[in-house]
Amino acid sequence: MTFSIVAFDLKEQAWGVAVASKFLSVGAVVPFAQASVGAIATQSYANTSFGPNGLALLAKGWTAQEALDKLLADDDGREMRQVGIVDAMGRAATFTGKECFAWAGGITGENFACQGNILVSRSTVEAMASAFEKSKGELANRLYAALLAGDKAGGDSRGKQSAALVVVKPKGGYAGFNDRYLDLRVDDHKEPVRELASLLKLHRLYFGKTEKSERLEIRDSVAKELQRVMKRTGDYKGAINGVYDEGTRKALRAFTGRENLEDRTFLEEGMIDPPAMEYVRERFGVKRVTTKKKIGRRKRN
């Protein structure tokens, strides 16, 4: 009762799942992923044991097809199931049981597998596959592009309700303590796939990465903007002088922590990522500080 994609990005060393369905909180049922191991989507009268059991097999070095064959062999209800798997090397496999409701089927390609059941037509998975192959950027963006393409091509014939996007990579989680780089869910919404885009945008804001060479130094006009904002919020008590001193640093630590921008601010280096600065300007209605050039009067002859 779902359409999904599982995929791997070699350069990024990331694995992920994107899924949508006319089903409450599909993200709590379908997607499973583990960094350096693989990703699994289990759906259609989902056997959720396929997630942990399948990842355990992949962790032992089994290929996606080998793991899929083993899971199905041990399941008496296999003909009602639908599964997509991508392994540590990007090898993909998909299965659709004979008792899945039409339209039901799947497609595999390089580093991905798309599958769906109770769909309007095959065009949904075809659109997903095409969008993934043509898309650029990080894996999360490519998975979302595939999901959106499937949604536009018809998606679940029963309607829409929920969607989810999961991406894992080694030490990709918050502060690098786990591999859960991204885990976004829309549990109940009229347009869940489009709503997922809003969450993805917020994830980019709070946890995205900017090259060090592109970061802004917190001094002069940038420092003044931040000092003015923090003066209004009560975090900063000093002068609006454009100097990144200890008082400004301490105030910025409190301010960015409250605004969830700590991953976008580099207190020791005195730098901030451009997207975070743009967020502050928009959120607090800050006008950029500009220096007016003094124009001298022309002397009369």
What DSSP string runs through 190-218?
SSHHHHHHHHHHHHHHHH----GGGPEES
Is 42 found in the same domain as 190? yes
Assess if residue 163 is contained within a domain.
yes
pLDDT at residue 84, rounded to an integer: 98
Assess if residue 81 is contained within a domain.
yes
Give the H/E segment covering residue 45. none
Enter the pTM of the model.
0.88
pLDDT at residue 234, rounded to an integer: 96
Is 175 found in the same domain as 271? no
Assess if residue 301 is contained within a domain.
no
> What CATH number is attached to the domain comprising 108?
3.60.20.10
- Specify the amino acid at residue 207: F
pLDDT at residue 207, rounded to an integer: 92
C-alpha to C-alpha distance for 60 and 67, rounded to whole angstroms: 10
Give the mean model confidence (pLDDT) for residues 165-179.
95
Is 98 found in the same domain as 50? yes
Assess if residue 151 is contained within a domain.
yes
Give the mean model confidence (pLDDT) for residues 174-193.
96
Is 227 found in the same domain as 127? no
> What CATH number is attached to the domain comprising 259?
1.10.101
Residue 174, burial from CB neighbour count under 10 angstroms (0-12, 13-18, 19+): exposed
Last residue of a domain, one of 181, 207, 233: 207
pLDDT at residue 288, rounded to an integer: 58
Assess if residue 95 is contained within a domain.
yes
| Boundaries of domain holding 167 | 2-207
Q: How many domains does the chain have?
A: 2
pLDDT beyond 50 at 30: yes
Is 275 found in the same domain as 126? no
pLDDT beyond 90 at 159: no
pLDDT beyond 80 at 293: no
Is 262 found in the same domain as 164? no
pLDDT at residue 155, rounded to an integer: 72
pLDDT at residue 285, rounded to an integer: 85
Last residue of a domain, one of 207, 236, 264: 207
Is 181 found in the same domain as 229? no
Assess if residue 174 is contained within a domain.
yes
Is 203 found in the same domain as 266? no
User: What is the 8-class DSSP label of residue 270?
Assistant: T
Per residue in 218-232, pLDDT tens?
A: 999 999 999 999 999
Give the mean model confidence (pLDDT) for residues 48-70.
98
pLDDT beyond 80 at 1: no
Per residue in 237-248, pLDDT tens?
A: 999 999 999 999
